[in-house]
Amino acid sequence: MAKQNKTAPKQQRQGMTDLERLGLRVSNMINHPKAQEQRWVAIHRLDTDRDEEWNEIMRVIGETDGLEITQLEDGGVKIEWELETDDDREAPIEELEALEEEAPF
């Protein structure tokens, strides 16, 4: 049986940055079927979310047309949007999606 090189996969792996991880979490929350049905989602900042990444994600969301952001008392935000038309679906939140990468596995 051929000997397997156990270090090769480790060298090929590239971990996600904190910003990409937070962007993926926020994107998943926004795209959740329940959030899509009700057209809003509450996003809460975790203890592990650093100021730099949180502020960048909030900037991207704040600059996205069609979203209304409300600050919550607990420090989170509520993001609301209107029902999309066919034209709106052609213009996704490009910057947020750019933060996502393929799964590292």
- The pLDDT tens digits for 53-75 are 999 999 999 999 999 999 999 88
3-state helix, strand, coil in the chain (%, to 5): 45, 15, 40
Percent of the chain topping pLDDT 90:
58
12: left (phi over 0), alpha (psi -120 to 50) or beta: alpha
pTM of the model: 0.65
What are residue 40's DSSP bridge partners?
A: 80
**Closest to 53 (Cα-Cα) out of 96, 102, 4:** 96
**pLDDT tens digits, 15-58:** 889 999 999 999 999 999 999 999 999 999 999 999 999 999 99
Phi, psi for 32 (deg, rounded to 5): -60, 140
